[in-house]
Amino acid sequence: MSQIPTTAKEKLINGFFRKFPGDAASVLNGFSTEEIIDYLKRQDQSVSKQVFARLNPDIATEVIDLMDNQLFVHIFSNIDAYLGARLLSRLDKEKAQAKTALLSPTLAREIKELMSYPLDSAGHLMNPMTTTFHPENTVEEVLKRLRVLGDRRIANIYVIDDKGTFLGVAALQRIAISEPNVKLKDILQAPLGVINALAPVEDVVELLEEKRIIHLPVIDINNKLLGVIRNGDLVAASKEEATEDLQAMFGAGREERALSKVSLAVKNRLPWLHINLITAFMASLVVGFFEDTIARITVLAVFLPVVAGQSGNTGSQALAVTMRGLALREIRIGQWFKVARKEIMVGLINGLAVALTTSVIVYFWASSFGLSVVIGISMVVSMVIAGFSGAVIPIILKSLGQDPATSSSIVLTTVTDIFGFLSFLGLATALADVLNIVG
Amino acid sequence: MSQIPTTAKEKLINGFFRKFPGDAASVLNGFSTEEIIDYLKRQDQSVSKQVFARLNPDIATEVIDLMDNQLFVHIFSNIDAYLGARLLSRLDKEKAQAKTALLSPTLAREIKELMSYPLDSAGHLMNPMTTTFHPENTVEEVLKRLRVLGDRRIANIYVIDDKGTFLGVAALQRIAISEPNVKLKDILQAPLGVINALAPVEDVVELLEEKRIIHLPVIDINNKLLGVIRNGDLVAASKEEATEDLQAMFGAGREERALSKVSLAVKNRLPWLHINLITAFMASLVVGFFEDTIARITVLAVFLPVVAGQSGNTGSQALAVTMRGLALREIRIGQWFKVARKEIMVGLINGLAVALTTSVIVYFWASSFGLSVVIGISMVVSMVIAGFSGAVIPIILKSLGQDPATSSSIVLTTVTDIFGFLSFLGLATALADVLNIVG
């Protein structure tokens, strides 16, 4: 496979791929699947592996699907079992099995085992355990094994008994300073945390953040050590979790990626758009309730987007800050009053400021003192309600055991739209004659 | 509970504080500053330290401000210099200096040095270096020092020369398997990454994610080793960065926390609300342009929120997914066409589906075939435009060197509102007579 690069151009590309596999993968992400396979074929095996491992997961899956068995074996021999399983589990079950059968028996077994865990479980994130020790092993024996392993980084010495039951870890630091004849059972420590292979990734991220764990041992229900989730994968999982909320908030689901298939995007987003449609028609109902007023004073329709927009924005700001506080665990459910009080105050102050600007503009735009008073008052009212709702809705949803990210923004939009229209059109209707607002 | 005598109750609280300092801090966050100080005073020094370190930073700052010097010294002696500096730098400069002067000279010097770095710099995140070695040190000498340090976790042996210049690291694993008389200079390795103390936290996070670094050495411009950013702080910084985008997208700034002061929230959010006001009035201009049509067909005003809402949502979904792709580095600027093509397709399919539902509802609601055709067509048009805009706007902003989080959503709302109103009211005006839509 490793054709020797002939031209200077090939050499340049080769050097770029070798030196910056991440950037190379990023460039390749923009190419067609066939082109990517072509490029991978023209690199040394070690280089194509590095680049392949960094491709966008969706694209890497397409590449696997399309490449011939020879290239597959080249790239997948010695692949991280964890990465291999992640990618293969995105293929059809039969295809994945056929591909896995091409690999060495050990690797194939590891990959199959990992693939048996659900996509969002700790088991799916772990690297299968390869280096473990027995409690009767001495420090000297450990050091001998470490010498054989060479530069492969080991962070902790994991100790299991004959049945594979996880007993604890011996820190490398402890190993280094102990006498050669000391047995591992005498320097064993309980790990900072362990996790069951079937636990959701959410729990993994929680452990990482709360206990500041660097490597997390994964066990089964019988306390058998199955593998370890390494720091890099922990960090990546944490970042994915943190950024998922953003998508979930707008009803784009948690699985979709920027380059996912159109069908996945439609499937994930359409239900939410339909739920939103209900909300929108509820807002329409409110507006429809005041159709007579609008028929008399058409200019009200012109300023509807202003009131709805500002209260929507105020609500979103409060929601974003509160959601982040919940995500970073800086606030608890019990603190809802403190957060709500703050947001009411912020809504009031911002509302007064924005209402003043708006009233002045509307006064000159529509030459109506009455209308500028109505829009000013309704702005303050709806922005206070929006601030309060933005703070309280995610906290309530969380206390009900709901995911605040998925449902907050839809509930919030309903509330801000309805109260925005209601306060503006309601006030206009009530005060139309008093303030002499005429269309 | 109330029957339990005070001492037992105190013991219970004490046990809870000791065992779950994180949860205890979370509970205390909801109390008044005076109550928190009172609770901290009633705990052992070691326990109050643990709990204090986990308080919300805003609240911890208030606590420092209000507590007496005795409690301050109790909690701050042996504090992580990094944490101490972070909190003290939130006080007035003079107050911070007065408090720092109460501490031991070494700690005071470390804290002062850290406080000299900007809040969002690598220097501010680091722990000052305490344990370093010389290239002529032998493995035996290192092990001797490690024995003295006991269980304090060391990940790498950092080697500097007489002038403090950073030479490299010796992995603990390497130390463990080397002969006692080997000198550090012979087993030195280049670190996976280093960072300048003045580099922004963003760069720190980028290094963490790209090179999967566990501990990051911090140097000054002369290559002098200043400290190390530890894994836990790296992970926390990464998560804060990732969740900041959410707030920035809604114009709530990057610094605000759920329990920040009202004044900070107003200062951060008000400018954005005013920019948004311009957007809203631009949308009003569009609606105003069709005032005559609305005066004839009032029911159009009723359905305005539906069109604007759906195109706004479609745009937000595309924006959220694209922003996440950019944040996770799954897509590059050059891939704008691929992403845009996907979002246009998604907008088209979802648009057709939503338009169908909407048209049916509107047909029965307003008993107007013409209106249901107009709203259906305008929905498809505006949702395709919204999908395209949601994908392209953040990518364009990024390619212009702007922060896509801060500006995308405002530009997007402008685009989706204007095109939503324009397509709906424009079509209605053009086709009013043809389709026999009458108010």
Question: Mean pLDDT throughout A132-151?
Answer: 85
Residues with Cβ within 8 Å of residue B5, at least 6 apart in sequence: none
Q: How confident is the model at residue B315 (pLDDT cuts 50, 70, 90)?
A: very high
Q: How confident is the model at residue A151 (pLDDT cuts 50, 70, 90)?
A: low
Looking at chain B, the whole-number percentage of residues with pLDDT higher than 70 is 96
Chain A residue whose CA is closest to B324: A243
CB A193 within 8 A of CB A216: yes
More confident residue, A389 or A431: A389
Residue A314: predicted pLDDT: 93
Question: Mean pLDDT throughout A419-438?
Answer: 86
More confident residue, A273 or A378: A378
Q: Which residue has the tokens 């463990």?
A: B176
Within the 173-232 window of chain B, which residues sit less than 8 Å (CB to CB) from chain A? Answer: 173, 175-177, 208-210, 212, 214, 231-232
CA distance A312 to A379: 11
Q: How many domains does chain B have?
A: 3
Looking at the structure, do residues B286 and B244 belong to the same domain, yes or no?
no
Looking at the structure, do residues A81 and A60 belong to the same domain, yes or no?
yes
Looking at the structure, do residues B220 and B277 belong to the same domain, yes or no?
no
- Mean pLDDT is highest, among A312-326, A377-391, B78-92, B297-311, for A377-391
- CB distance from A275 to chain B under 8 Å? no
Q: Which residue has the tokens 């206009």?
A: A428
More confident residue, B27 or B229: B229
CATH of the domain at A200: 3.10.580.10
Looking at the structure, do residues A383 and A309 belong to the same domain, yes or no?
yes
Chain B residue whose CA is closest to A323: B258
Range of the domain at B317: 262-431
Residues with Cβ within 8 Å of residue B347, at least 6 apart in sequence: B314, B318, B383, B384, B385, B386, B387, B388
Residues with Cβ within 8 Å of residue A176, at least 6 apart in sequence: B143, B146, B172, B175, B176
Distance from CA of B252 to the nearest CA of A (A): 6
More confident residue, B174 or B424: B424
Looking at the structure, do residues A229 and A347 belong to the same domain, yes or no?
no
Looking at the structure, do residues A150 and A240 belong to the same domain, yes or no?
yes
| Neighboring chain B residues of A345 at a CB cutoff of 8 Å | 262
CB contact under 8 A, B235 and A234: yes
Q: How confident is the model at residue B130 (pLDDT cuts 50, 70, 90)?
A: low
Where on the phi/psi map is residue A80: left (φ > 0), alpha (ψ -120 to 50), or beta? beta
Residue of A236, A56, A59, A200 whose CA lies nearest to A117: A200
Q: Is the pLDDT of residue A2 over 60?
A: no
Looking at the structure, do residues B157 and B197 belong to the same domain, yes or no?
yes
Q: Which residue has the tokens 């005429």?
A: A438
- CB distance from A317 to chain B under 8 Å? yes
Q: Is the pLDDT of residue B1 over 50?
A: no
**Residue-wise pLDDT tens digits, B231-281:** 888 888 888 887 887 788 888 888 888 888 888 889 988 998 898 899 889
Domain boundary among B75, B93, B116: B116
**Residue-wise pLDDT tens digits, A82-128:** 788 888 888 888 888 888 999 988 888 888 888 888 878 898 888 87
User: Does A404 fall in a domain?
Assistant: yes
Domain boundary among A115, A150, A172: A115
**Residue-wise pLDDT tens digits, B185-218:** 999 988 888 999 999 888 888 888 777 788 899 9
Residue A5: predicted pLDDT: 52
Residues counted in chain B: 439
Residue A407: predicted pLDDT: 75
**Residue-wise pLDDT tens digits, A5-49:** 567 777 777 888 888 887 888 788 778 888 889 888 888 888 888
Looking at the structure, do residues B156 and B102 belong to the same domain, yes or no?
no
Report the run of H or E that residue A168 belongs to, with start and end: strand A166-171
User: Does A438 fall in a domain?
Assistant: no
User: Does B436 fall in a domain?
Assistant: no
Chain B residue whose CA is closest to A266: B346
Residue B32: predicted pLDDT: 83
User: Does B437 fall in a domain?
Assistant: no
Distance from CA of A439 to the nearest CA of B (A): 10
Residue of A91, A93, A85, A83 whose CA lies nearest to A67: A91
Domain boundary among A198, A220, A249: A249
| Neighboring chain B residues of A283 at a CB cutoff of 8 Å | 305-306, 309
CB A298 within 8 A of CB A373: no
Question: Mean pLDDT throughout B74-84?
Answer: 83
**Residue-wise pLDDT tens digits, B319-361:** 989 988 888 777 888 888 889 999 999 999 999 999 999 999 9
Residue of A386, A382, A384, A376 whose CA lies nearest to A431: A376
- Asked if the interface predicted TM-score (ipTM) of this complex is over 0.90, the answer is no
Within the 338-367 window of chain A, which residues sit less than 8 Å (CB to CB) from chain B? Answer: 338-339, 342, 345-346, 349-350, 353-354, 357-358, 361
User: Does A272 fall in a domain?
Assistant: yes
What residues are paired with B183 via a beta bridge? B138
Chain A residue whose CA is closest to B281: A306
CB contact under 8 A, B302 and A288: yes
- Helix, strand, coil proportions of chain B in percent (round to 5)? 65, 10, 25
CA distance A75 to A43: 11
- CB distance from A247 to chain B under 8 Å? yes
Chain A residue whose CA is closest to B251: A317
Where on the phi/psi map is residue B219: left (φ > 0), alpha (ψ -120 to 50), or beta? beta
Looking at the structure, do residues B301 and B385 belong to the same domain, yes or no?
yes
Question: Mean pLDDT throughout A287-313?
Answer: 90
Looking at the structure, do residues B72 and B179 belong to the same domain, yes or no?
no
**Residue-wise pLDDT tens digits, A198-244:** 998 888 888 887 777 888 999 998 899 988 988 888 888 888 887 88
Looking at the structure, do residues A81 and A177 belong to the same domain, yes or no?
no
**Sign for the pseudo-dihedral over CA of B408, B414, B417, B422:** negative
Residue B158: predicted pLDDT: 92
Residues with Cβ within 8 Å of residue B110, at least 6 apart in sequence: B81, B85, B128
